[in-house]
Chain A
Amino acid sequence: EAEVAQSPRYKITEKSQAVAFWCDPISGHATLYWYRQILGQGPELLVQFQDESVVDDSQLPKDRFSAERLKGVDSTLKIQPAELGDSAMYLCASTRQDYYEQYFGPGTRLTVT
């Protein structure tokens, strides 16, 4: 069964450093999402891509976060500089065109020290 791949699974970084996460969605899934999940809360949408275009990045802290999906396939989410409050699980999800159910990857657990 196809899965959404994410790497790394765990990342520890010091504040003010740069960090990047990678996501490879299920083949053929045009829509890709990045979520942040803080412990005890539900996932919060950061950015949504349709193919290579950003559909919604209204909740992305653009002063430090950036996301790209250059060829409309895999995607990278970057934080620079990282802050202590960025410690969270970063989840990537994808979905087929005109379908609503999102398939999530295993996430990247970020700890900022």
Chain B
Amino acid sequence: DQQVKQNSPSLSVQEGRISILNCDYTNSMFDYFLWYKKYPAEGPTFLISISSIKDKNEDGRFTVFLNKSAKHLSLHIVPSQPGDSAVYFCAASKNYGQNFVFGPGTRLSVLP
């Protein structure tokens, strides 16, 4: 039973355009969400987080939107850069930071 889903295994975007990565979850008890980026042969790197009391969090080129009623969050990267090419994982937690559950990841390719 996959509690965190990332239904697009891969996504290709032109450099300078917007990248939108989606994540859906099934457990309404999740109250904290993280996005991680992973390059090959490296561990995941934290990108941005959002608490369930917010619907948007922004950090530079990265914005995360949370729609609790739809149990959906998305990561927007604007403008996309070739260095953003990586696998992006969505992770969700109950109890604010305990026991994160990760999605399967979306591979983003930003084409020059």
Contact = CB atoms under 8 A, between A and B. Distances in A.
Contacts of B93: 100
Contact of B89 (A4, A42, A48, A106): A42
Interface residues on A, range: 20 to 34
B46 A42 contact: no
Given A99-B97, A100-B93, A42 B43 contact: no
B32 interface: yes
Nearest to A40: B104
Given A41-B104, A42-B4, A42-B91, A101 B99 contact: no
Contacts of A105: 43
Contact of A102 (B9, B41, B42, B46): B46
Interface residues on B, range: 20 to 34
B46 A44 contact: no
Interface in A90-113: 91, 93, 95, 99-107
Contacts of B74: none
Interface of A: 4, 6, 40-45, 48, 55-56, 91, 93, 95, 99-107
17 contacts: A4-B43, A40-B9, A40-B105, A42-B4, A42-B91, A42-B102, A42-B103, A42-B104, A44-B102, A55-B98, A91-B43, A101-B34, A101-B46, A101-B49, A102-B34, A102-B46, A105-B43
